[in-house]
Amino acid sequence: MAKLISILDNDFYKFTMQYAVVKLFPKAKAKYQFINRGEHKFPAGFDIQLRKAIDDMALLKLTRSEKEFFSQTCPYIDPTYFDFLQGYRYDPDEVVVQQNGNEVTVKIEGYWYRTILWEVPILSLISELYYETTGAIRASDEEVIRIVENKMSKYDKLDITIADFGTRRRHSYDVHDLVINTLKKHQSTTFIGTSNVHLAMKYKTKPIGTHAHEWFMFHAAKYGYKMANLLGLENWANVYRGDLGIALSDTYTTEVFFKQFDKKLTKLFDGVRHDSGDAIVFAEKTIDHYVSKGIDPLSKTIVFSDGLDYNKVEKIVKYCSNKIGHSFGIGTDFTNDVGLERMNIVLKMTEALPDEGEWTPVIKLSDEPFKHTGDLAEIEMAKKYLQIDEHA
C-alpha cells in the first residue's frame, strides 16, 4: 500500500517556501483544497486508504543524515530552520478527507508554515493509491528504464539541461525511484537534478526549485493583486539574498507579471519559470522584456515546466537557441509514462489569513483560463482590477 518513507519525499520549493514563511509570516494561516481536473473516478473505500496513508505521515521525521545532507546542500538557509524541521511532525488533524460516490474531497487548514508541506505528498499518495485501487497494471521496470533511456538519448542531442519535476503526479514511489536511478546512470550531462529532496539525497544529485504559485497568492491576500508579484519577489530576495533566483511568472498572467517585474528585480533574478500558456509566445515576451530593460537575454534563463514532452522541448529549443538561456523541468512524462492514463490533479491554496486581517479568498489566474483556480466571483473581480482581457 502507498506510503511515504521520508519527510524529504517532497518538492524542494515546499521547504524553501516553508523557511521563508517561518521567517516572514509565522502567524499566517492557510486553507487548501484538492481539485480533480481529470474527473477521475475513485473506487469505493478510496477515502479510507488515503486517510490511513495520511495518518501514517505523522510518524515521519527528519533523520540525522537527512539533516546533514540538507544543511550542507543549502548553506543559504539558516541552521535554525533545520533544527525546526527536525522537530516538525505532520499533523493529520489538519487534513479532512471525504468520499461521496466516486468523488473524493480533500481539505487542509492550519498555520501556513505547517500546512505548506502537505500538498505534494498528498497528491503523490492519491496518484499511487488510484492505480493500486483500480488494479491498473503498469509497464515493467525494464520497459520504464527503456522509455527513460530513449527519451534521454533524444534530449542529449538538443544540448540542454533537464531536471525531474515529477513528484506530485508520479505513478508511484517505485517508478519515481527507478526513473531517477536511470537518469543518474545515464551517460551525459543533460540531467542536472530533481525537485524531490529525498531522491536527490539518495542519488547524490541536486535538489531543484524556488517557489510556487501559493507564495504570490498569499501576497495578494496580504498586499493586493497589483503588489503581489513585486512584493512576493522583494520578500523572496530579502530572505535568499540572490540565491534561488528563478521567478515564477504566471500566478496572475504573464502580462501582469512583467508590468510588476521592475528593473531592479529583472536584473536581480537569474530568470523566470514558464508554467502555462504558449511557450514560444512566453519566450518572445520574456526576451522583449529583458531587451526593454537593457539586459542581454542570453545572460538570463527561462525554465520551462508546463506539461513537457520531447516534441514540445524540441520546438522550444529551436526558438530559444542563441536568443535566451533555457532549461527544462520534466514532470509526469518521466514519472508517469508507464502505459496508463496519467492523472490530472492539483491541490491549491483557496484562502489565506495574513498576520492581521481576516480569511481572504485566493486565486490563480493562469495564462490558460481553464487552469484558473479559486472562487469564480473573485476571479472575475481580479481580472477587472488587473485589466486582464482574455479575449484579446
| Residue 24: pLDDT over 70 | yes
Cα dist from 216 to 10, 155, 181, 191, whole Å? 20, 32, 34, 29
Percent helix, strand, coil in the chain, to 5, is 50, 15, 35
> Residue 339 in 3-state DSSP?
coil
- Take residue 291 and report the three cell numbers written for it: 531587451
| Residue 369: pLDDT over 80 | no
- The two domains 12-136+348-385 and 141-335 share their CATH topology (first three levels equal): yes
Report which DSSP code applies to 262: -
| Residue 371: pLDDT over 90 | no
Name the amino acid, one letter, at 63: T
- Take residue 343 and report the three cell numbers written for it: 492523472
Is the CB of residue 93 less than 8 Å from the CB of residue 130? no
Average pLDDT across the chain, whole number: 96
| Superfamily for domain range 12-136+348-385 | nicotinate phosphoribosyltransferase (3.20.140.10)
288 CA to centre of own chain = 26
Q: Rounded mean pLDDT of 282-310?
A: 97
232 Cβ partners below 8 Å, 6+ apart? 211, 215, 216, 219
Q: What is the distance between the terminal CA atoms of the chain, rounded to a whole angstrom?
A: 49
pLDDT band per the 50, 70, 90 thresholds, residue 368 = confident
Give the start-to-end residue ranges of the domains of the chain.
12-136+348-385, 141-335
Q: Options 1.10.1760.20, 3.20.140.10, 3.40.50.10860, 3.40.720.10; which CATH number does 141-335 get? A: 3.20.140.10
pLDDT band per the 50, 70, 90 thresholds, residue 392 = low
Q: Rounded mean pLDDT of 365-381?
A: 86
**How many beta carbons lie within 10 A of that of residue 93, not counting itself?**
10
What whole-number distance in Å separates Cα of residue 147 and Cα of residue 275?
Answer: 24
Q: List, for residues 122-146, the tens digit of each pLDDT value.
A: 999 999 999 999 999 999 999 999 9
What whole-number distance in Å separates Cα of residue 246 and Cα of residue 223?
Answer: 22
Query: What's the pLDDT at 269?
Result: 98
